[in-house]
């Protein structure tokens, strides 16, 4: 079982839809959870960052962590064509010598 699982999609939605992107993980020691957004042929950029369980909201984006289920989600409200990108989840324990573990990424396409 891989440490981080993420459905690669692709996921296609109409403009204005609510999008749900998800990752599951196996290492219960993960404490820090991130979502990176990557536009085509570009490097990823940090979108959301959460620590431990709970929700975090930033504009149209909400990151949710459920540590009991080892499940994290990114919700996008009122999706726009400019949201079309690959979304990568990433997580770490932050213990010494550990690295950030990325999911495979989910490709999202929002049509106008």
Residues at the contact surface with other proteins, assessed by CB under 8 A: 4, 6, 8, 32, 41-46, 49, 88, 92-94, 97-100, 102-105
Q: Which is nearer to other proteins, 69 or 94 (CB)?
A: 94
Q: Which is nearer to other proteins, 76 or 88 (CB)?
A: 88
Q: Other CB atoms closer than 10 Å to residue 44's CB: what's the count? A: 18
C-alpha–C-alpha distance, residues 51 and 81, integer Å:
29
Tokens of 54: 């709970």
* Burial (CB count <10 Å: 0-12, 13-18, 19+), residue 105: buried
Q: Which is nearer to other proteins, 12 or 94 (CB)?
A: 94
Smallest separation, CB 65 to other proteins (Å): 14
């Amino acid at each position: 079982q891989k440490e981080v699982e993420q459905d690669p999609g692709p996921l296609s939605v109409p403009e204005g839809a609510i999008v749900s992107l998800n990752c599951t993980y196996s290492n219960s020691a993960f404490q820090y959870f991130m979502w990176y957004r990557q536009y085509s042929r570009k490097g990823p950029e940090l979108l959301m960052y959460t620590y431990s369980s709970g929700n975090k909201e930033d504009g149209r984006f909400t990151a949710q962590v459920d540590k009991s289920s080892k499940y994290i989600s990114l919700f996008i409200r009122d999706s726009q064509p400019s949201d079309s990108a690959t979304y990568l989840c990433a997580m770490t324990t932050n213990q010494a010598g550990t690295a950030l573990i990325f999911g495979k990424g989910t490709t999202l396409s929002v049509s106008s």
